[in-house]
Amino acid sequence: MPQYTPPLRDMQFVMHEVLNATDELKLLPAHAEIDAETINAVLEEGGKFAAEVLAPLNQSGDAEGCTLDPKTHEVRAPKGFKEAYAKYVEGGWPALSCDPAFGGQGLPHLVNQALYEMMNSANQAWTMYPGLSHGAYEALHAHGSDEQKQLYLPKLTSGQWTGTMCLTEPHCGTDLGLLRSKAEPQADGSYRITGTKIFISAGEHDLAENIVHLVLARLPDAPQGSKGISLFVVPKFIPNADGSLGARNGLYCGGLEHKMGIHGNATAQIVLDNAAGWLVGEPNKGLAAMFVMMNAARLGVGMQSLGLTEVAYQNAVAYAKDRIQMRSLSGPKNPDKPADTIIVHPDVRKMLLTARAYAEGARAFAMWTTLMLDKELATDDEDERADCADLVALMTPIVKAFFTDNAWIATSGCLQVFGGHGYIREWGMEQFVRDARINMIYEGTNTIQSLDLLGRKVLADNGRKLKKFGQLVTEFIEEEGTDEAMQEFVNPLADLGDKVTKLTTELGMKAFQNADEVGAAAVDYLRVCGHLVFAYFWARMAKVALAKVGGGDPFYRAKLATARFYFAKLLPETAGLIRSCRAGVKPLMELEEALF
């Protein structure tokens, strides 16, 4: 069975030594009393919950999966999941970063995101149940009426109820403008909703007493396309005014998807049969409201893949230190054994260091993005709010796509370290690979994220958001440019920053002539931008490590060695990607459709 140790030391390093997060958070009225000791204590306990309660259920949950009763349409989660959820609720974990006005603890989202990284490492399938609930909470908190907030948010905050988002239909995925679910207004102000939704994660289960579905549907007079979509709250059980459960609503699970991975989470087909729902926000403005939950989910999927990268790395390292196979090419390294441990072999180290560099780079990037989110939500300075909102919007597709692409690379490499044992189920590695591959698809495929980045977040505003991040990079380069010890990190960062600026300008000019140029370049472009962000944070981490490596703590030596590996072995990928971007759309469109 795979093992998991929460990476608390690295989390503390990023939060307190690289980002100085507590100093940043103390400037926000909502977090003026926060301190490093509180954050560390919360994450230590969260790590125990992840490692001791969730991790032991990961393999068994994958093997058992979820069970649908075709007569009652009820779904049973794998053995132990319900009990683990009860412990999660008892520990107050659902309320960690929720609004105190609705029973929350009001801690920064940064702390909650770190908790979710650990839970995703331990058991991604289980973690999706509360994860979707938090997204539903955010959407209702932002767009729900006062009555809806009072009715639903305390229950979602406590974990007594869970939530989902119901977007996809059998005939349409990302193109939500094609959805057909209908909402008929009723005399009492409610709506009757009819339609079918598919791929609904955590859509039906036995962990909580009620499930609050946020459903996209069309009003009778709605305009065509995405401008005619409204958002409705549709609970499994209709709550009474006092929050107690009332009648069973007209929706049910019509089937469970049989997936390649994440078996412990119920991916449900939800049939809405004249179900009672209530409008959230304004009519025909549902997509904007739902984007609160969708963006939260995209950041969440990034954290899922960070979690998988970390746990795959930990287990591959343990195996590589124990497994003996052949001798080192440069001579025996374990002469007292019949063969050397495989960690002495350069390519094994390359696979391990790739996973390590992608995990630690992602952790710094994710924590910084979440810190920007905390500032956006809690600052009194409107200019700061706007800047942080722009940076979070810019980074969201990169977090989702770059992290998930990297997790696929990393988990595949870590499986490879195990050799033949890697694809044997009992070692657990093949599950990480299967789960990681799904993350690249749902919540908007990585191509969709790439189109969003290049088309909407960069070219649509003439690079305004990108320039804000570029300014951070420029300031860092100017501050560190005279430090000889930092040149190995600063110089490649500066070089890539210049190349991204030139590439963006070039692609913008091409897009004016042919919009398909965006589609041709977007995936490679996002990966280049992902490396730019990682290079920035790896340079920042290297700066801290250089200042402290003389103290004898091996943590800083390891951090510097990993930074050097990243710049030497992973960052050069950008050269080929940039060349591919510049190749344009012609090589993709020359072949006539009939010849495929």
Catalytic positions are 443
Residues 260, 266, 272, 275, Cα dihedral to 10°: -170
H or E element that contains 217: strand 210-217
The structure tokens 């340079």 sit at 539
Residues constituting the chain:
596
The dihedrals phi and psi of 220, each to the nearest 5 degrees, come to: -55, -35
Cα–Cα distance for residue pair 453/62, rounded to 1 Å: 34
What is the rounded CA–CA span in Å between residue 138 and residue 131? 11
Distance CA 29, CA 17 (A): 22
Euclidean distance between the first and final Cα of the chain, in Å? Answer: 45
Buried b / exposed e over 306-333, threshold 16 CB at 10 Å, is bbbbbbbbbbbbebbeebeeebeeeeee
DSSP 31: G
Cβ pair 375, 28 in contact under 8 A: yes
CB 205 within 8 A of CB 130: no
Question: How far apart are alpha carbons 262 and 128 in whole angstroms?
Answer: 9
Which of 371, 33, 112 has the alpha carbon at shortest distance from 379? 371
Strands 67-68 and 75-76 come out as antiparallel
459 within 8 A of 448, measured Cβ to Cβ: no
Q: Which amino acid is at 85?
A: Y
H or E stretch covering 432 = helix 429-439
Tokens of 399: 């977090």
Residue 535: how many CB atoms within 10 A of its CB? Answer: 26
Q: Let me know: does 89 contact 151? Beta carbons within 8 Å.
A: no
Helix residue ranges, H only, 35-161: 36-49, 58-64, 81-90, 109-143, 146-158
Contact indicator for 490, 539 with CB cutoff of 8 Å? yes
- What is the spatial distance between Cα 108 and Cα 94, in angstroms, rounded to a whole number? 13
- CB within 8 A of 61, min separation 6: which ones? 77, 78, 79, 80, 81, 123, 125, 126, 263, 264
What distance in Å separates the CA atoms of residue 294 and residue 531, rounded to the nearest whole number?
Answer: 24
What single letter denotes the amino acid at residue 223? P
Contacts 24+ apart (CB under 8 A), 551-555: 555/9, 555/13
Name which of 245, 250, 253 is nearest 275 in CA terms.
Answer: 250
List of residues 6+ apart from 60 with CB closer than 8 A:
78, 79, 80
